[in-house]
Amino acid sequence: MSGIFGFTCTSCGERHEGSPSFAFRAPDPYLEQPPDVQARGSLGKDLCHYQDEEGEHYFIRVVLDIPIHGMAQPFIWGVWVSLSRQSYQHYRAHHAQPDINAAYFGWLCNSLPWYSNTYALATSVHPLDANHRPCITLHEADHELIHDFKHGISIAKAQQIAELCLHQTAAQKA
Ligand SMILES: [Zn+2]
């Protein structure tokens, strides 16, 4: 494992240092709701819910790590997954002291830049300690993101995705 991830950006010419980490401020479905539905729901740093004619929708913020070949630190995505009401309530009830033996089923609720549609990929959510958001693992399917999750990405690919996030998308530097 070598040192700090860093590269000279082909987009802005600056040097970007540090492990790439990008996050979404909300689950995509919440942002697609009209203002009145959003106002009756809630969006926080870790939790989100709203109600529409189909019923209640529950989301939590989680972390997806993509290994970078030769680097100690992964490419980190801060993303949202939807949970069942039961899982959401269990997660909230254990928020101060997460139940590390729990695992929830979740649907990925963000469209990651670079990749073809990542919305509604199936995940498992694994609570960590109280100082860390849960991490997710991706269920088996034929998708580039799942391949990268399992096998990691090259430094060159990490750089390309980071440049895309830094300069061309809604994902924010975390
Ligand atoms: Zn740049």
For 50-98, write each residue's pLDDT tens digit. 999 999 999 999 999 999 999 999 999 999 999 999 999 999 999 899 9
Q: Mean pLDDT over residues 131-141, rounded?
A: 96
Mean pLDDT, the chain, integer: 94
Range of the domain at 62: 19-173
Centroid of ligand 1 to alpha carbon of 59 (angstroms): 31
pLDDT tens digit sequence for 17-28: 988 999 999 999
Give the chain's domain count.
1
Is residue 95 included in any domain, yes or no?
yes
The DSSP bridge pattern shows strands 75-83 and 21-23 to be parallel
**What pLDDT does 114 receive?**
94
Is residue 9 included in any domain, yes or no?
no
Q: Give Cα separations from 14 to 17, 111, 153, 155, 158 (angstroms).
A: 10, 27, 23, 17, 16
Centroid of ligand 1 to alpha carbon of 166 (angstroms): 6
pLDDT confidence tier of residue 168, bands split at 50, 70 and 90: confident
Is residue 2 included in any domain, yes or no?
no
Which of 169, 158, 164, 146 shows the shortest CA–CA distance to 11? 164
17: Cα separation from own chain's centroid: 21
**What pLDDT does 116 receive?**
93
Q: Mean pLDDT over residues 140-162, rounded?
A: 97
Is residue 7 included in any domain, yes or no?
no
The answer to which of 11-15, 37-41, 123-127 has the lowest mean pLDDT is 11-15
172 or 154: which leads in pLDDT: 154
Given a contact cutoff of 8 angstroms between Cβ atoms, the answer to whether 113 and 165 are in contact is yes
Centroid of ligand 1 to alpha carbon of 165 (angstroms): 9
Q: Can you tell me the distance from the alpha carbon of 145 to that of 141, in angstroms, rounded to the nearest whole number?
A: 10
The answer to which of 87-101, 114-128, 159-173 has the lowest mean pLDDT is 159-173
**pLDDT at residue 117 tops 90:** yes
**What pLDDT does 2 receive?**
58
Centroid of ligand 1 to alpha carbon of 62 (angstroms): 26
pTM, two decimal places: 0.93
**What pLDDT does 159 receive?**
95
Count of CB atoms situated within 10 Å of the CB of 40: 12
**What pLDDT does 170 receive?**
62
**pLDDT at residue 29 tops 80:** yes
**pLDDT at residue 169 tops 80:** no
Is residue 8 included in any domain, yes or no?
no
Centroid of ligand 1 to alpha carbon of 52 (angstroms): 39
Count of CB atoms situated within 10 Å of the CB of 127: 23
Is residue 58 included in any domain, yes or no?
yes
Is residue 130 included in any domain, yes or no?
yes
Is residue 166 included in any domain, yes or no?
yes
Centroid of ligand 1 to alpha carbon of 67 (angstroms): 21
Count of CB atoms situated within 10 Å of the CB of 144: 13
